[in-house]
Amino acid sequence: MPPPRVHGKAGAGPVSAPPRGGKNQGQGGRRPVDREEERRRRIVTLVRFAVRTGRFVAGETGARIAVRRGKAGVLLLAADIAPAKAERIRAWAAEASVAVFSALDGGALAEAAGRGRCDVFFVHDPSLARSLSIELGGGGGFC
């Protein structure tokens, strides 16, 4: 059976409409959503926005200096960071009331930041920090 013919603009001639369905007929042609992959993609996008705007610090020393200077934000730790280093960072971040999250491994964080290995990433743009906090389950409140 040929596809139905539909007329578009006047004088443009007939137009063929694509068939309905696709690979997954029961889902209207849409693929099932992998929620964790979608969440990861949104986090990477927010990290890239922070890089584009220049409102970030990569590395433990830079993040610590930014926090000491009173910049509010969100601290992202690589998921595969050494436990002792993570505890040390969490301790000084807690003293400064900085929210700390761990969602991406070091390679994914470095790729999103456009850098070499990156274990610590501090976002100090208020709106991006709030968005990251919400996305990572912190509810959007950060100091």
Nearest to 82 by CA among 119, 51, 46: 119
Instruction: pLDDT tens for the chain, 143 residues: list them.
Output: 666 665 555 556 666 666 665 555 555 556 667 888 888 899 999 999 999 999 999 989 999 999 999 888 999 999 999 999 999 999 999 999 999 999 888 888 888 888 888 889 999 998 999 999 998 887 655 54
**Owner of token pair 């993609």:** 41
pLDDT of residue 107: 87
For tokens 């003293």, the residue is 95
Distance CA 35, CA 37 (A): 5
- CATH homologous superfamily for 39-135? Ribosomal protein L30/S12 (3.30.1330.30)
In this predicted structure, what is the pLDDT of residue 143? 45
Domain boundaries, the chain: 39-135
Write down the pLDDT at residue 115. Answer: 81
pLDDT of residue 19: 64
CA separation for the pair 140, 143 (Å, rounded): 10
Buried b (16+ CB within 10 A) or exposed e, 11-39: eeeeeeeeeeeeeeeeeeeeeeeeeeeee
